[in-house]
Amino acid sequence: MSSFIQEITEGKIDFEGQHLVDLIAKSVLSGSAVVGFLVGFALQDLRVTFGIMALATLTLTMVLLPPWPMFNRHPVKWLPSVDTKAKAE
């Protein structure tokens, strides 16, 4: 039971998933900052700029934080364990 809760709260993803999350977060956030600045400047309205930023942040929390299956498609393949004890006997 406790391990189940731990798994839910930890929300582990694999290494490829971590790389993907990092890439998405950096590109979307910096992209929306640039787009928000340009669109807000063109429309002369700061609310547009911060609206775009808020929307991007909200989307990112939905997409990146839960351990969606797409971040777990490359599980680590461990080598088979070598039975050293059996050999010794």
Partner 1 sequence: MHSIFSRINNVSAFLSSCMMALLAAIALSSFVFTADPHGDLAISSIKVVSSNARRYPNKKQDLAFVHFNVTADLTPLFHWNTKQLFLYLEAEYTNKQGVKNDVVIWDRIVRRKEDAVINFAGKNKYMFRDISSTFKNSPPASYSLKYNVMPYVGLLTYGEAARTTEAVAFPPTQSRL
- The contact set with partner 1 (CB under 8 A) reads 9-13, 18, 21-22, 25-26, 29-30, 33, 36-37, 40-41, 43-46, 49, 53, 57, 60-61, 64-67
Q: Which residues contact 86 (CB under 8 A, 6 or more apart)?
A: none
Residue 83 CB, shortest distance to partner 1, in Å, is 30
End-to-end CA distance of the chain: 38
What does the block give as tokens for 23? 């890439």
Residue 61 CB, shortest distance to partner 1, in Å, is 8
Q: Which is nearer to partner 1, 2 or 44 (CB)?
A: 44
Number of C-beta neighbours around residue 32 at 10 A: 20
Residue 24 CB, shortest distance to partner 1, in Å, is 9
Q: Which is nearer to partner 1, 39 or 83 (CB)?
A: 39
Judge contact between 18 and 1, C-beta under 8 A.
no
